Chain A
Amino acid sequence: MATTSVMGGSVRRREDPALIQGHGLYVDDLHPTGLLHIAFLRSPVARAKITNLDTAAAKATDGVVAVYTHDDVAHLGPLVAQVPIGKLRPLLAAGEVNHVGEAVAMVVAVDRYTAQDAADAIVVDYDTLPAIIDLKEAASDVQKVHDELDSNILHTWTYHGYWEALGLEDQTPEVDAAMERDDAVVVSLEMVNQRLIPVAIEPRSVVAEYNPGYSQFTVHSSTQVPHALGGAIATTFGMVAADVRVIAPEVGGGFGSKLNVYNDEILTAFAAKALGRPVKWTETRREASGSTIHGRGWIGTATLVGTADGEFLGYKLHALADMGAYSQNFTVAIPLLGLWIASGQYKMPVSWTVDCVVTNTMTADAYRGAGRPEAIYYLERIIDAYAREIGMDPFEVRKKNFWQPEEFPAVMGCGFALDSGDYPANVDKLMEKVDYPSLLKMRDDARTQGRYVGIGVGSYVEVCGFGPAILAEIGFSWSAYGLPASFNGSGLVRVNPDATVTVVIGTGPSGQGHETTWAQLVGDGLGIPVENIRVLHGDTREHPMGIGTFGSRSIAVDGTATYEATLKIKEKAAKIAAHLLEASAEDIVFENGGAHVKGSPAPRVEWEAIAKAAYQAHTSPEDVDSGLEAHTSFSPANATWPFGSHVAVVEVDPDTGNVDLLRYVGVDDCGNEINPMIVNGQIHGGIAQGVGQALFEGAVYDESGNLLTGSLLDYPLPTASDLPSFELDRTVTPTDVNPLGVKGVGEAGTIGTAHTIVNAVVDALSPLGVKHIDMPLKPRRVWEAIQEARG
């Protein structure tokens, strides 16, 4: 049966039939004729001068076509960064290395096995230097990572000074004064928000081809941002963007790790052009762990000051954020995303400072949430500690300090306005869903039996839907890659002559189900069955402009643009229908897959007749251009600000320190929803990644800069048996930032979870006096905290 009225419906995904039968096409599945393979030689040391680099044995290996080092590609580099603060990454190591995993040489051979053998045959002499890994040590500037930089602190973001043009007031004196009050309760904790590895299950992969006759590149890459990559390649090789076709076919997860343009993408294109043959590089898991971007990596002290009866008087954070050795894409700008939500859902003055620190480690950039999970973690953990200090229920303390519904749009101290929200209603729904009084009783009963059961409460607000054009002024754009300098959304909708619809979008899925959601959006707008709609994405030839998928922006920004394109098409279609019906366009209404005059269901014209007429000059009105398509751009006036609250229930085994996650309940609010099934799925995955950070994951470098967590054995992701089923519900507070009322949901689960879990574990161990344990809460760490508390 044809599905037409689908907004808000859990339509099964159109993406799935290919994927569940093994017919999905990912980059590594490509095998063009004459394909060559790349292997990189990567640095085994964190900091060294390269005193000798001998590629002779590699070049002499049977099957090797070429070996490249820095001198061969120096004219193309370094890798362009969108926010070029810090040292930029050379395409291949330029006489020195600055982190384990840095690419030193590139081998191209007839197959991947031979390429790897030859890479192993390259001889490099490293004159090692002391690596600077520890964040505090790096920030002290006792020893510099890069001689040419003034300091290891690349940049400092402050709450009032991050963007001088806004002329914001420094709230630090207000927070400091509150601390001096006689009735002030001041709670302070130093906490680590550890470095994480994104771990998309599909390793990144690139296949590049160059046609010298047409002087054109075709590059397939597992990327979230094909247009940015196309722009970067065009810029690097001095070409026009139209001669660089970048295609992102199926992308096997991204989570921000595929939002960078990488040196390996540029180098694979370079090799294809230099050798005149198609060339492929697919990263190994070890490369994915050590040479694809990391995220988080903060250490900071959060301080909350409030009254004894639970009124917040101010919040302060000073943190160091690890940037790694080289700045790549947004790197230094990532903490800024946290700054905008530093005050969470609460009305209070904020003093917030984050120093961006360079170390001899892999670049840190946007991993799911990007700056926002860190900011919310510090805030929500310190709120929990404060509530415990004054003996107040964690829900009550939050409710007492929320922005109230009538205060929206709520202008925060950072200058941005929270768009819409009803935080108390959201929390009430959660408390009701978990039956909070009975939950507390269950915990307390367990405690009387000597069991360590804990309830964690956590709230969050996030900033997403990037974004407002004004953000380009502080670096959030693709202008460094030659693209227009703002993150507008774009939608291109065409009704074909047979009344099928082709939708081309500038944002593509890495699992989020864009093909289904956009078919629903357009199908609903036009009254055409979703079965007759094809959604194209991820191909720069199909669409002149695309910003890509990140920052939970797709539906709020590009979705809105697409929606507005359908309105334009309807306007034009009404003129054609009116012409066919010999009526006035103002009187045309669309219903049941066709159009008729208002109040008069017959005669009517079907979309098929309208579409045919649109493409034939003799059947369309004289004053209407031929064809039936529209391209619309959307520039939101504000970001969107989803929110929610979660509850975790855990039990800690005091003998082993093992944390068992018994229940996880979330009530989220992402505004209107197009497909609740897909929204649920996004929240599920986000929660799992938040649990991963809280309990299992952490990228660990030893003091020499060796990555100790370079495989999935050492970097444990949550498995199915580590997690419970999640209990979800929603409140719906539409935004007025866009006409769809949608806010975005890709990162919400992750932003809401890690602190909720840690709050639960601390609650479980609070009878012992445990106040904080740093993530990941692995059994040993928890056990040690228990032992320490027991003295």
Chain B
Amino acid sequence: MEVAMTVNGREVSADVEPRTLLVHFLRDELRLTGTHVGCETGYCGACTVHVDGKTVKSCTMFAVQADGAAVTTIEGIASDGDLHPVQEGFWERHGLQCGFCTPGMIMSSIALLEENDNPSEDEIRHGIDGNLCRCTGYHNIVRAVEYAGAKLRGEQPPPPDWEGGE
């Protein structure tokens, strides 16, 4: 089937099997390999992308269902070489270790902060609990989102909580 969509601002089209998952279309067809597959059941969230501004786990959507949509992946988040505040937060607050869940975690965190740029710790934890991380225990991911929220509000982010500070 012919499928056409806008991905990271670029129009793309291809002939795909109807059963092709959106995540495989992105990874195998477009070679946008920043979106990862961790579980194929929509549970881990490593494949999270934005479809028409909403977070979608792209292993639970067929490519043909995204026909005509605007899709944003992790590769489309930084603009002109400048990191998005959420990306910056993950770097500044050690919000990642192996990095495999990170693209999905960043996509969910961006969506969370777009809805609420000053979330409480509890709101952050519930906002990202559709994304699994096995490395960080989420502690520094929460700090990363707090950092990004402060940046987006034009405030000074809270200092890091590890020994010796920055």
Contact = CB atoms under 8 A, between A and B. Distances in A.
A723 B137 CA distance: 8
Contact of B44 (A13, A282, A712): A712
- Dominant secondary structure at the B interface: loop
Question: Interface residues of A toward B: which range?
Answer: 35 or more
Nearest to B35: A22
A284 interface: yes
Given A21-B78, A511-B135, A720 B100 contact: no
Interface string B70-82: 0001110110000
B97 A201 contact: no
Given A12-B92, A16-B90, A20-B96, A113 B102 contact: no
A112 to B, nearest CB: 8
B106 A20 contact: yes
Interface string A156-196: 00000000000000000000000000000000000000000
18 contacts: A10-B163, A16-B99, A22-B34, A24-B34, A113-B20, A201-B38, A201-B100, A253-B134, A285-B44, A676-B162, A677-B94, A680-B161, A681-B97, A684-B136, A688-B136, A718-B137, A721-B125, A723-B138
B139 A684 contact: yes
A217 B138 CA distance: 39
Given A21-B87, A28-B36, 11 more contacts: A13-B91, A21-B34, A21-B77, A25-B33, A31-B31, A255-B134, A282-B37, A512-B97, A686-B137, A687-B137, A721-B129
A402 interface: no
Contacts, number: 200
Nearest to B28: A31
A68 to B, nearest CB: 24
Contacts of A676: 162-164
Nearest to B32: A22
A285 B40 contact: yes
B114 interface: no
Contacts of B33: 22, 25-26, 28-29
A337 interface: no
B126 interface: yes
A216 interface: no
Looking at B28, B106, B133, B142, which has the most chain A CB atoms within 10 Å of its CB? B133
Contact of B129 (A681, A720, A729): A720
Interface of B: 17, 19-20, 27-28, 31-41, 43-44, 46, 73-75, 77-78, 83, 87, 90-92, 94, 96-103, 106, 121-122, 124-126, 128-142, 160-166
Contacts of B129: 719-722
Contact of A20 (B27, B83, B142): B83
Given A20-B87, A21-B77, A285 B38 contact: yes
Contacts of A510: 98
B135 A20 contact: no
Given A22-B74, A511-B135, A203 B97 contact: no
Interface in A692-721: 711-713, 717-721
Interface in A3-30: 8-10, 12-13, 15-26, 28-29
B132 A513 contact: no
A713 B91 contact: no
Nearest to A21: B78
Nearest to B89: A20
A252 interface: yes
A509 B100 CA distance: 13
Contacts of B142: 720, 725
Contacts of B163: 10, 673, 676, 680, 729-730
A676 B140 CA distance: 13
Given A511-B135, A730-B163, A22 B73 contact: yes
B38 A685 contact: no
A201 B73 contact: no
A678 interface: yes
A711 B160 CA distance: 36
